[in-house]
Amino acid sequence: MAPDRLLTFILARADTGARFLVILGAAAMVVVVSAQVVMRYVFNGSFDWADEVSRIAFVWTIFLAIPLGIRDGTHVGISILVERLPVPLQRLVARATSALAAVLMGVVFWTTIGVALATWSERLGALNVTSSVFFFPVIVGALHSALHLVHLALVPMERRP
């Protein structure tokens, strides 16, 4: 199997998993926040853990959705200069910026692992889990994003099946 086809295969599976987790995270946020509102305004009480669970679900949802936006080309971009270039140069700039962004995502990936390890002993109050739980989606999302950006650099959008 050619390297670009292997990367396409891996990314398709990663995208399916990320999409499922994003849906699950969004559903968890809706359920937990709704339950917390009902508890607070109907029963005059609250869940101690609701705030932390909804924040964790939010962070996971956002960082796992970023690679899906990269894949679809839906992130905001400033193209006023690039649009004025000849088409072959536009493609070269797109591939170069994708490669550069992949390197940046690699730096984010590696740095976030260090931060997660450094904060591993810190605990969240209501859940008694490591505060590094907030860094896991950044690690996964950065790696997934880097793979999509490498794919964009190797196989531009117009050549994809």
pLDDT(127) > 70: yes
This prediction's pTM: 0.85
Confidence of residue 1 (pLDDT cuts 50, 70, 90): low
**pLDDT tens digits for range 62-89:** 999 999 999 888 777 777 888 888 988 8
Give the pLDDT score at 118: 92
Backbone φ and ψ of 135, nearest 5°: -90, -20
Give the Å distances, CA to CA, from 156 to 30, 54, 73, 77. 37, 37, 11, 16
Give the pLDDT score at 74: 78
- The Cβ of residue 98 has, within 10 Å, a number of other Cβ atoms equal to 19
Residue with tokens 């964009």: 152
Give the pLDDT score at 158: 55
Exposure class string for 133-160: b at 16+ Cβ within 10 A, else e: bbbbbbbbbbbbbbbbbbbbbbbeeeee
